[in-house]
Homo-oligomer: A and B are copies of this chain.
Amino acid sequence: MTTVGVIGATGYAGAELVRILSGHRHVELTILTSRQHVGMPFARIYPSMAGGAGGVDMVCEEYTADRICDRAEMIFTALPHQLPMKIIPELVQRGRRVVDLSADFRFREVSAYESAYQPHTAKELMGQAVYGLSEVYAQQIREAEVVGNPGCYPTSLLLPLIPLLKDALLNTETLIADSKSGVSGAGRSPSLTTLFCEVAESFKAYKVAQHRHNPEMDEVLSHEAGRPVHITFVPHLVPMSRGMLTTLYATPARKISADEIRGRITSFYAGRPFVRVCPDDSLPNTLHVRGTNFCDIGFRLDDRNNRLILISAIDNLVKGAAGQAVQNMNIMLGLDETEGLMGVPFPI
């Protein structure tokens, strides 16, 4: 039984971590911290989790390194970027292992991080951190002290692309990702753009070709392709709470059949239960992955111009954040990667 703590437990991703970890039979959730809700029972903030066997009976505490290190061996940080880089070095020094859900430890190149975010103050640790795309980097994650948990958008497109990129099956200059995200991705802080009345009956693109997840994607894609890759990335906001669908466009590097594409993806993820390749006559749908750690992948070829259309669906808060973080913890602890993540999904 490993003790675990969540730093920043009251945002949507933090709360999702609390949900998953509370139901995990091989860890004991021992401490939650919050900047805004110190002293507040967690279940007053999220009353769904009040009471009984299925509930969370913990109180939010103020963060101190001592408090968290005294009580937790494994630590999740669910904070805005720039904060984790300040606190994680001490945690690691004191022997704790950390999965960070922010961008602070996702990059290999300091310059890439710094041009997208701001100066990095823990460059050395950044260099040792492992990018937590569980299905692709499990081996490195196993030994990592710090895992930089991927962004939701990168997760949604790297999983379908990497099997094909690794085999040089795609013309890397043709990559386009048109992503659509539910509103929870914007977090729980009140803002005009996420008010119900501004979101309902609204569909829009935002940060077109300027989103901070774009350099994160590019770095991983380039690494996997073995050459510099820039993907055109356009995120959109969907009037729903959870879920992310990414539609990818790419020109194959050579004539390729649907069977071959299916074969490559299927074999790449053989034995990895969270990637589900849709049957031929079916396509991913956010409703089918809601509340789960699955990444559903489907595809079609546009025969008229031999363009490949790859589609993925994830729950942005689960596989796109807290679920993958727990999957990474499972890998780090040598547990089955599905532990705590295999509740039977809801039909609707």
Contacts and interface: CB of A to CB of B under 8 A. Distances in A.
Q: Please tell me how many copies of the chain the complex holds.
A: 4
A343 B23 contact: yes
B238 A273 contact: no
Interface stretch (A59-67, A86-94, A137-145, A274-282): A274-282
Contact of A53 (B197, B206, B342, B348): B342
A283 B192 contact: no
A347 B19 contact: yes
A197 B245 CA distance: 18
Contacts of A180: 180, 203, 236
Given A203-B245, A240-B202, A273-B53, A292 B345 contact: no
A199 interface: yes
Contact of A191 (B50, B190, B205, B208): B190
Contacts of A305: 173, 230, 232
Contacts of A279: 44
Interface in A21-63: 22-23, 44, 46-56
5 contacts: A18-B347, A48-B288, A176-B249, A195-B195, A343-B343
Contacts of A307: 176, 209, 232
Contact of A347 (B15, B23, B191, B345): B15
A160 interface: no
Interface residues of A, number: 97
Given A44-B279, A190-B190, A291-B291, 20 more contacts: A12-B348, A23-B344, A48-B289, A48-B290, A48-B346, A51-B294, A53-B338, A54-B292, A54-B341, A173-B305, A178-B247, A180-B236, A188-B195, A194-B195, A194-B197, A201-B243, A201-B287, A203-B238, A205-B311, A206-B283
Interface in A118-157: none
Contacts of A313: 203-204
A255 interface: no
A277 B222 CA distance: 36
A230 B304 contact: yes
A71 interface: no
A54 B342 CA distance: 5
A183 interface: yes
B53 A200 contact: no
Contact of A188 (B197, B285, B304): B197
A177 to B, nearest CB: 10
A136 to B, nearest CB: 18
Nearest to A289: B48
